[in-house]
Homo-oligomer: A and B are copies of this chain.
Amino acid sequence: MSLKQEIFDFVETDLLKIEKALESNLNPYLDLVRDVSSHILFAGGKRLRPVLMMLCARLCGCRNGEEVNLSTIFEYLHTATLLHDDIVDGADTRRGKTVAHKIWDPATVVLVGDFLLSRTCTIATDTGKLPIIRVITNVTGVMSEGEIQQLLNKKRLDLTEDQYMDVIYRKTAVLISAACQVGGLLADAPESEVHALSEYGRHLGIAFQMADDLLDYVADPKITGKAVGTDLAEGKLTLPLIYALEKADSQTRPAMEKIILDEQATDADFSYVVDRIILSGGVDYTNQKAREHVAAAKQCLDIFPPSPEKDVLLKITDFAVSRDS
């Protein structure tokens, strides 16, 4: 049985509950909100964030059902940022579907993103737990600053690995970390466990995003629903490319830079850069870094006794770097 199947079998019942909660939390609202949100919310997302929150809550002994409803905020927040991000990126497709702002107008999508953000804050506030509210408001701040930073980083050819790490923390890891942390907080787990879960999520999130960034260069577009070299075409420098640029000799680097900055770059140009990335070891280096974060994520769970939840949380870290989509 594949790793994906093993994880899926364990969380199948929870996934159904999450889907139901995601729908029912939107039901009382305007048709338009539901339609726009659903377009991306129900387009085959993995529900990684809500699933992680529920697993972490259960790992710490919480099984009162409250975790299902609360877990939706991590999918809503994720969706809100995707809606606004797609506008910012000028992307055409997401998960193999036309992006929302090409079906509805960007204005509508901005407002629906705002709505999902406000639902997130409301559901968090409804818990009445200040530590949970604090985590959520912190996440929205960190992510929002990160998105602005990412906009400023576009086509910045001198982006360093450290700056890249900051971007992916803000873009992905902080939310996954928050989902795990909130699971612990909801279960009223001791500070040490909450911290361990937060760190587990951070490492997992970093590994996950690195694997995602690799997919942009090595994956089959038919499986990912995303064209190869999309990040490159958008002028987004990710670790494989940062590494390749750093290793490039004084003739190759300017040639690569020219293509990255060229709005009219051809497929042949992109192939050249992709070849440079692979030959320089940029793919291997990124892979190795991702695996280091997987190992660190696993280590964070050492303080928890064996349990089926722990087992699945460990499997999810391996899955994060073995995805094909």
Binding site for B on A (CB under 8 A): 29-30, 32-33, 84, 87-88, 90, 106-108, 110-115, 117-119, 121-122, 124-125, 128, 130, 133-134, 136-138, 140-141, 143-145, 147-149, 151-152
Enumerate chain B residues within 8 angstroms of A87, measured Cβ to Cβ: 106-107, 110
Contact B118 A140 (CB under 8 A): yes
Q: Select which of B30, B84, B107, B110 is within 8 A of A149 by beta carbon.
A: B30
Q: Give the docked Cα–Cα distance between A38 and B107 (Å).
A: 22
Enumerate chain B residues within 8 angstroms of A32, measured Cβ to Cβ: 148, 151-152
Contact B110 A110 (CB under 8 A): yes
Contact A114 B144 (CB under 8 A): yes
Given A29-B145, A32-B148, A111-B144, 8 further pairs, Cβ under 8 A: A32-B152, A87-B106, A88-B111, A108-B151, A115-B148, A118-B140, A125-B134, A133-B133
- Measured between C-beta atoms, what is the minimum distance from A145 to chain B in Å? 6
Q: Give the docked Cα–Cα distance between A124 and B148 (Å).
A: 22
Contact B130 A128 (CB under 8 A): yes
Contact B151 A115 (CB under 8 A): no
Contact B130 A115 (CB under 8 A): no
- Measured between C-beta atoms, what is the minimum distance from A37 to chain B in Å? 11
Enumerate chain B residues within 8 angstroms of A136, measured Cβ to Cβ: 121
- Measured between C-beta atoms, what is the minimum distance from A152 to chain B in Å? 6
Q: Select which of B119, B140, B151 is within 8 A of A107 by beta carbon.
A: B151
Contact A152 B111 (CB under 8 A): no
Residue of B nearest to A84 (CB): B110
Q: Give the docked Cα–Cα distance between A178 and B90 (Å).
A: 36
Contact A145 B110 (CB under 8 A): no
Q: Select which of B119, B125, B144 is within 8 A of A115 by beta carbon.
A: B144
- Measured between C-beta atoms, what is the minimum distance from A174 to chain B in Å? 12
- A113, A117, A144: residue with the most chain B Cβ atoms closer than 10 Å: A144
- Measured between C-beta atoms, what is the minimum distance from A241 to chain B in Å? 22
Q: Select which of B33, B90, B117 is within 8 A of A148 by beta carbon.
A: B33
Q: Give the docked Cα–Cα distance between A136 and B137 (Å).
A: 12
Enumerate chain B residues within 8 angstroms of A134, measured Cβ to Cβ: 125
Q: Give the docked Cα–Cα distance between A137 and B120 (Å).
A: 9
Q: Select which of B33, B84, B119 is within 8 A of A111 by beta carbon.
A: B84
Do A111 and B30 form a contact, CB below 8 Å, given A121-B121, A130-B128? no
Residue of B nearest to A122 (CB): B137
Enumerate chain B residues within 8 angstroms of A118, measured Cβ to Cβ: 137, 140-141, 143-144
Contact B130 A110 (CB under 8 A): no
Q: Give the docked Cα–Cα distance between A128 and B128 (Å).
A: 11
Q: Give the docked Cα–Cα distance between A134 and B106 (Å).
A: 29
Contact B33 A114 (CB under 8 A): no
Residue of B nearest to A36 (CB): B148
Q: Give the docked Cα–Cα distance between A112 and B112 (Å).
A: 16
Q: Give the docked Cα–Cα distance between A124 and B149 (Å).
A: 24
The 8 A-B residue pairs whose C-beta atoms are closest, nearest first, are A88-B107, A118-B140, A121-B137, A118-B141, A115-B144, A125-B137, A118-B144, A114-B144
Enumerate chain B residues within 8 angstroms of A114, measured Cβ to Cβ: 84, 113-114, 117, 140, 144, 147
